[in-house]
Structure 1
Amino acid sequence: MNQNKQAFDLVIVGATIVDGSGRPGFVADVGIADGRIAGIGTLPADAGRERVQAAGRVLAPGFIDVHTHDDRALLTPGAMTAKLSQGVTTVVTGNCGLSLAPGQVRGPIPPPLDLIATPEWLRYPRFADYLEAIDRQGTATNAVCLVGHLSLRANVMDDLERAATPAECQAMQELLADALQAGAWGMSTGTFYPPARHASTDEIVAVGEPLREHGGLYATHMRNEAEKVIDALDETFEIGRRLGVRVLISHHKLAGVANHGRSVETLKRIAAAMEKQPVSIDCYPYNASSTVLRPEFVARASSVLVSWSQTMPQFAGRTLSDVAAELGCTDEEAATQLMPAGAIYFMMDEADVRRILAFPKTMVGSDGMPHDEHPHPRLWGTFPRVLGHYAREEKLFSLETAVHKMSGLTAQELGLAGRGLVAEGMAADLVLFDPDTVNDSASFAEPRALSAGIDQVWVNGRLAFADGALQDEHAGRVIRRGA
């Protein structure tokens, strides 16, 4: 313990420390110096240039949002309020096969890349250019950045509705190797989506070969999350084995009424795979998903909410059935008329959501869409919802377990050294919150609402959020693999 009172820039006094490891909380002071945690315990009463009285509050590691589409939001003033206001201090971008870089896309931007990209944002030819832009401008949270396989395809292929040739696989592999050399954390795929659906297992392995040398992560929005989910899981495990890398199953879910309850089966399969190879899993704490609006997705959902539409923007925030009634057509025909568009699909079973969230190795990711006109409330509410609704009210697990799933577990699974715990020497990414009132406020009707109970958030030792507002938009940094 460092008790030299001159050593601390800040002392947080008398908080209940829930340190991210899962162990019981304890009351202590925390001293911060030069962006790191420099002391924990009973610190001198006059220690610290600044002091925050925190009795009755919980101090936890800043949350790590393992699944985001914040690629563009990181560079957009004010956009990261959605995350900092939840206590999130690090985001993982480039998921579902989508990344802004490399940005030399051939032809029109293919959906779902248009969820994060517009032509003016595809301005980073190399992944290094994108990371350097974040370095130059600064950003509100830390960023761990993946390369999107669909983005690689769109850079190299003139027709995405087919398999890649060996030469195209080689070109994608070279782009990925360049990105990993620049500090990318790994590669993601979204073979669920039409522009990547024609990519075979062999293509993904061929393109992903540089992951082996760099120890990169392979994250995937799997080919199927419905009737063929077991086949998709087996493909995911095979890719990880063939590349010799950790695989991350993104936003694990069971889509469609016919598949409700099958999380018993999928989690058993995942647990068995974890015994044999490095496998990770994340989810979001809602029974509705959000992605592009497509007619073939509509029948799986009990209800569909339009989140944005380029052709008919006036219908954002309306149910698809209402839009169809107004247009005098079927729901599927309305979806076709609204495209390109986004939607929120109510198609999962709450019992599956709870079972997956409670699985010991499940991490938490928001999967929010920052640029939707009417976003899913997970963009603003995911992490306080886990703390308030699921831990405190539903008692699905303890507060300590909830924090672990959102910090220490994620840092451990992803290999984020120096983060995810309240411990001496760790980066001072911290969130101070009221355990009795913390909860989500965002709803499907009003999705942009600050969560309750989040008092203060520090990123690398700098106060980034307090009093319901951003305090510092440049406290974050890119976390590069190998740096």
Structure 2
Amino acid sequence: MTAMPEGSADIVFRGGTIIDGTGDAGVIGDVAIVGNRIIAIGSLNDISGVKEVNIANKVICPGFIDVHTHDDQVCITSPRMTAKISQGVTTVITGNCGISLAPLAPGNDIPQPLNLLGQAENFKYSEFESFVQAVQKSVPAVNIASLVGHTTLRVGAVADLGNKATPQELKLMQRRLKNAMKAGAIGLSTGLFYSPSQAADIGEVSALTKIVAEMGGICTAHIRNEMDQIRDALDEAFQAIRSTKVPLIISHHKCAGVKNWGRSGETLAMIDVANRYSPVGLDCYPYIAGSTIIIPDLVDGEIDILITWSEKYPDVSGRYLKDICAEWNCSEREAAERLVPGGACYFQMNEKDVRRILQHPRCMIGSDGLPSDPNPHPRLWGTFPRVLGHYARDVGLFSLETAVHKMTGLAARTFGLMNRGILKSGNQADIVIFDPETIMDGATFDTPVQAAQGIEDVYVNGELTWSRGQHTGKCNGKYLSGNAN
């Protein structure tokens, strides 16, 4: 490769508002990159670019980091990752909610909620290393970092999922977790809410967090209960990491169910107290509805439930449960029981709680999108532009700089993603250019597969991957291995 003349760059972005991801106020200036690295930021009159891009009246910032995804399978089978790259996401964290594609040997039964990731044939990676190799071979459009799911470990090691692990089964899970982290996993996720892991006690989870602490990783928790027993569930999550002081993230924090609306002040205070003793953060998506498998116990007659898919009744996708039960002349719960297995959106949060949680200084942004869902929650396509356009610009919930920090610098620091999340010389050239006046999510519950507006260009490791509403076809994502990424 021919050396570039001194004072030159591959690309110089000129005259944009630089929001660097630290939370500091934006400034007008230039950004220069060579290859996959940023080489200079500021007033760069002494640097010329092979390509010069005028970004006046636009914002240039780090690529967004989606800290809570279920993209384990789609990043391999559909590596263009259009749902993410179109909204400015350049890095995703997979393996959340206790479910990951690996390590799990072929031939195991795949209970719910593992089917949120794919079919039984997709679970073919006995060793985490083979999953990493599959990601690297696919060359996805975005960077991938992955957690190991506690439920995945249990399904592969525990003979009776209705009981806590035996000492021998626990040792097997510990060994597989350690091997996975050696192979590149960044930590452990738990999902005690879901039936395959409900029998696990604090001792089982704590034993696994010791491995995470030893390997310098992080833990995320889809807690056991986000409704009436949310205090107990939070305490359980805090206790599980107390002896190791491993960093903990409370996943998609919410106060679900009408009776619990307004409790976010209480739960956030608990998180703040726990953070005094060991690092505790959280993530949130900017919607009042969540989405997961159809769970009849969540049918309370008070909230709206939108069915996204049903294996037995595929024609009900996109219809509300109340309309289905009226047509079937049965109760909502009876209809839900008939529709299993399937997926649904549950309108179970209050807007005031969502806003209070989003405002928390340690709250990051995670879409929790389900890419295999045929009629997905709009968060899959719209989360990040919605935070920027609706909550920052239109509602004024926080500044644009704070919004960008939550989805870049804060996320990179929390998950140990080195040289990413902040625009500075030497860092990776994961870059988003957007129009602050027009950025807005396009996806809705009626039409959920819609690209956002206002995302101009997206660069992943220096490669232009999304431009003016179109995927360029260039995929340059990397697998980010633990603390060595």
3-state DSSP of counterpart to 2:319: coil
Letter in 2 for 1:188: S
Deviation at 1:105, TM superposition (A): 5.8
Letter in 1 for 2:288: N
2:21 alignment counterpart? 20
Q: Provide the identity percentage.
A: 48
2:219 alignment counterpart? 218
Q: Count the aligned residue pairs.
A: 481
1:480 equivalent to 2:481? Answer yes
Equivalent positions of 1:379-418 (< 5 A) are: 379-418=380-419
2:126 alignment counterpart? 125
**8 Å CA contact 2:417, 2:483 repeated in 1:** no
2:264 alignment counterpart? 263
Which one is further off, 307-316 or 463-472? 463-472
**8 Å CA contact 1:368, 1:375 repeated in 2:** yes
3-state DSSP of counterpart to 2:290: strand
3-state DSSP of counterpart to 1:49: strand
**8 Å CA contact 1:317, 1:374 repeated in 2:** yes
Q: Structure 2: give runs of 5+ residues left out of the alignment.
A: none
**8 Å CA contact 1:254, 1:348 repeated in 2:** yes
Letter in 2 for 1:17: I
**8 Å CA contact 1:131, 1:478 repeated in 2:** yes
Tell me, in whole angstroms, the C-alpha distance in 2 between the residues paired with 1:124 and 1:378: 28
Which one is further off, 268-277 or 24-33? 268-277
**8 Å CA contact 2:443, 2:449 repeated in 1:** yes
Deviation at 1:46, TM superposition (A): 7.1
2:430 alignment counterpart? 429
Deviation at 1:218, TM superposition (A): 0.8
1:460 alignment counterpart? 461
Deviation at 1:45, TM superposition (A): 7.6
Alpha-carbon spacing, 1:106–1:223, altered in 2? closer, same or farther (3 Å): farther
2:63 alignment counterpart? 62
Tell me, in whole angstroms, the C-alpha distance in 1 between the residues paired with 2:439 and 2:318: 26
Aligned CA-pair RMSD: 1.5
Tell me, in whole angstroms, the C-alpha distance in 2 between the residues paired with 1:96 and 1:313: 26
Equivalent positions of 1:19-418 (< 5 A) are: 19-44=20-45, 47-77=48-78, 80-104=81-105, 107-299=108-300, 302-418=303-419
3-state DSSP of counterpart to 2:48: coil
State TM-score, norm by structure 2. 0.97
**8 Å CA contact 2:301, 2:332 repeated in 1:** no
Tell me, in whole angstroms, the C-alpha distance in 2 between the residues paired with 1:479 and 1:146: 11
Tell me, in whole angstroms, the C-alpha distance in 2 between the residues paired with 1:216 and 1:433: 33
Deviation at 1:210, TM superposition (A): 1.3
**8 Å CA contact 1:105, 1:155 repeated in 2:** no
Deviation string, structure 1 residues 216-263 (Cα, Å, up to 9, x no partner): 111010011111111111111111222331011000000100000000
Which one is further off, 73-82 or 461-470? 73-82
Tell me, in whole angstroms, the C-alpha distance in 2 between the residues paired with 1:5 and 1:298: 65
Letter in 1 for 2:236: E
Which one is further off, 159-168 or 339-348? 159-168
Tell me, in whole angstroms, the C-alpha distance in 2 between the residues paired with 1:46 and 1:177: 47
Tell me, in whole angstroms, the C-alpha distance in 1 between the residues paired with 2:443 and 2:289: 14
Deviation at 1:213, TM superposition (A): 1.2
Deviation at 1:209, TM superposition (A): 2.5
Tell me, in whole angstroms, the C-alpha distance in 2 between the residues paired with 1:16 and 1:34: 22
Tell me, in whole angstroms, the C-alpha distance in 2 between the residues paired with 1:281 and 1:100: 23
Tell me, in whole angstroms, the C-alpha distance in 1 between the residues paired with 2:305 and 2:204: 34
Tell me, in whole angstroms, the C-alpha distance in 2 between the residues paired with 1:408 and 1:82: 22
Tell me, in whole angstroms, the C-alpha distance in 2 between the residues paired with 1:242 and 1:228: 23
3-state DSSP of counterpart to 1:23: coil
Tell me, in whole angstroms, the C-alpha distance in 1 between the residues paired with 2:138 and 2:383: 27
Which one is further off, 241-250 or 93-102? 241-250
3-state DSSP of counterpart to 1:48: strand
Deviation at 1:350, TM superposition (A): 0.4
Tell me, in whole angstroms, the C-alpha distance in 2 between the residues paired with 1:47 and 1:225: 54
Tell me, in whole angstroms, the C-alpha distance in 2 between the residues paired with 1:108 and 1:79: 30
Tell me, in whole angstroms, the C-alpha distance in 2 between the residues paired with 1:124 and 1:349: 40
**8 Å CA contact 2:108, 2:156 repeated in 1:** no
**8 Å CA contact 2:19, 2:61 repeated in 1:** yes
**8 Å CA contact 2:63, 2:89 repeated in 1:** yes
Tell me, in whole angstroms, the C-alpha distance in 1 between the residues paired with 2:302 and 2:272: 28
Alpha-carbon spacing, 1:22–1:300, altered in 2? closer, same or farther (3 Å): farther
3-state DSSP of counterpart to 2:189: strand
Runs (4+) of structure 1 moved beyond 3 Å? 3-7
